[in-house]
Structure 1
């Protein structure tokens, strides 16, 4: 056995194709060396940052004497739930070099390579090496699709049928090697590589432009012909002097991603924009005090770099970033982010009184985190009984009315143009006609961790989606859910 220094991990290079093809054909003889070499040679011509790619462990330093002793193929994996993940297949170590730690060394290189490209999880399947992958930090998980991201958007059932069809075709034609298709008895496993993704800074002017475009697209859609009239966008005042740091969520961390984005706007670099809890309470309309279920003070000593995921795990709120308790989210907002948080709950009114306060809260300079059921394709509000439970950060709203005016609670809008239209207190306004009960208005402008495109939906659509959050999607046994179930329904969390 050579010394550890005699081995190097690298992206497959043209001069290594022949050696890699022989190793793969030896392990999986369903394809010839020539066929494998042609496929590997084609892969070498792709960009270094493109997936799929082949990573190898090489013995020797002189190019003419190098031998591929281990191989792994990395490709993109489209999770059935959330996130941006990769998968490793065709993992093999030359039989003459096994039992010397080379498999672990190659796997560490694979994980580092994928994480540097921004992939949050590594997936794989195995039917006989579970113990090896357990030792490398992997745990069992549900199956994910290996289809392209575009095909994965067809929906779970359609994706399953397509994968079965492609597998049968590949088996009959030899188009795919044996190791490229999971066996029925395979165990799926995964490992988290990143806690969070790189943030993308979005300044106030950028957010306003994106919000106006998103509102116009919503208003002009074919299903809403009566909403083509102009809508005036109102962004939270907290965004006027700070940027929003958008980030893609890793795995089921939609609530944690929403809190991080809120923290970036409300407490940039650790500076609390609204310095006192008294101010937070004064911002709450009178009716909100009767709806307040829990209020958490923002910690003065909160660190802007604190790990929300680690803190949530330590407190028993989550296993992998999922959060199904609005109270837990408020505690993390206050204790870890240093942001004041109040959870409003209106069970009797199916959330109406709480949700109607959101635009006014935004006018005051606050932000709101809301839970809803997301559509599987577009991430917009749906009604799936909680199987698509998701969090969004509400950063603004649009008044869909002829005056192009903001909605205010008996007071003029500060810093806005146009005629101001007052509305009655939600406690006295039952089902009065107008934009507060019209399904088309007001519109909420939101960001969430699955797309950097702003999401626009009506307040009523969001409320109805939130009101039916009853249960977690089946098959999520490792997620932390209280015996009493989800504590999300008919709730809104206000942040300042």
Structure 2
């Protein structure tokens, strides 16, 4: 009788993995979501802006002095038509520390108050009211366009380290474009690049070690200087982790011509909240400047409505 053990049977083939679970209402990732997946934003007040400026160094006038002001805001990729709510969430990081506000609470409050149905915000006035409620801040609703005196107000505000929420038409590379409001989008501006006459900037500024032509504020002064010749806005929006640098004039033109909702979007059967008078009444020529509550006592002339 043999004492050898029987040969064990070959192992069973591995079972096929279960099919992926598809949740009701879920959809494929948008291109901007796929691009952002697995990447991290560059952190710091000036670091990413310096990278942008180095890439575009030859496009800035050499006969001007250039000063950069910025306060870092975190990045958040939007899920659906939530660009305004995402911009507000990002802006809140300059107003609260530590931040206790979740994106879910922003969306919930906006829906509860009737400012949105899908996450969209087509009214700067509603955005100002929402910001005051969820951030505990003072929101200044700016109207009448982003030029003239309003341009000076925006420059002072950003140089003081405070955010501005700006609606505009977004091109495919996220830059401002002119589509009559068909690609209406929100961004949060957190900084500015100013070009001024040579010899204007003294005392409170120091040269950047990597870019000697670029001056950084030594003690973060609010800009009260002479006339500015060129202004670039440093902003983030919900379709990229990266900062964008746009000429103020281009952003102003895009902001001023937000006249109508994209007809295809308006006819897609989805419910949206539009103000009486439509997009032009709700967004054109408007922005929202956010102030800390403690700053309101410093400048009592500020009001929620600024015409």
**TM-score for both structures, normalised by structure 2:** 0.71
Change beyond 3 A, Cα 1:368–1:398: same
Q: Which residue of 2 aligns with 1:122?
A: 26
Change beyond 3 A, Cα 1:352–1:464: farther
1:329 to 127, 141, 144: 127
How far does the alpha carbon of each residue in 1:144-163 deviate from its partner, in whole angstroms, 9 at most, with x for none?
A: 98xxx49x99xxxxxxxxxx
- The whole-number CA distance in structure 2 between the counterparts of 1:448 and 1:481 is 21
The SS at the match of 1:268 is coil
How far does the alpha carbon of each residue in 1:156-176 deviate from its partner, in whole angstroms, 9 at most, with x for none?
A: xxxxxxxxxxxxxxxxxxxxx
- The whole-number CA distance in structure 1 between the counterparts of 2:262 and 2:47 is 36
Does 2:163 correspond to 1:367? Answer: yes
Q: Which residue of 2 aligns with 1:461?
A: 250
- The whole-number CA distance in structure 2 between the counterparts of 1:491 and 1:416 is 27
1:383 to 156, 178, 191: 178
Does 2:41 correspond to 1:212? Answer: no
Does 2:101 correspond to 1:304? Answer: yes
Does 2:257 correspond to 1:422? Answer: no
- The whole-number CA distance in structure 2 between the counterparts of 1:318 and 1:340 is 21
- The whole-number CA distance in structure 1 between the counterparts of 2:219 and 2:289 is 22
- The whole-number CA distance in structure 2 between the counterparts of 1:364 and 1:395 is 10
2:76 to 231, 247, 256: 247
Change beyond 3 A, Cα 1:319–1:416: closer
Does 2:279 correspond to 1:482? Answer: no
Q: What displacement does 1:467 show?
A: 0.5
Matches within 5 A, 1:153-172: none
Report if the CA contact (8 A) 1:199-1:247 is conserved: no
- The whole-number CA distance in structure 2 between the counterparts of 1:321 and 1:385 is 21
Q: What displacement does 1:201 show?
A: 7.5
- The whole-number CA distance in structure 2 between the counterparts of 1:444 and 1:322 is 23
Q: What displacement does 1:476 show?
A: 2.4
Q: What displacement does 1:369 show?
A: 0.8
The SS at the match of 2:187 is strand
Matched pairs, number: 255
Higher Rg of the two aligned structures: 1
Q: Which residue of 1 aligns with 2:66?
A: 231
The SS at the match of 1:322 is coil
Gapped runs of 5+ residues in structure 1?
Answer: 1-13, 18-54, 57-70, 73-108, 113-120, 125-143, 154-196, 271-302, 408-412, 424-433, 436-440
CA RMSD between the two structures: 3.6
The SS at the match of 1:357 is helix
Structure 1 or 2: larger helix share?
1
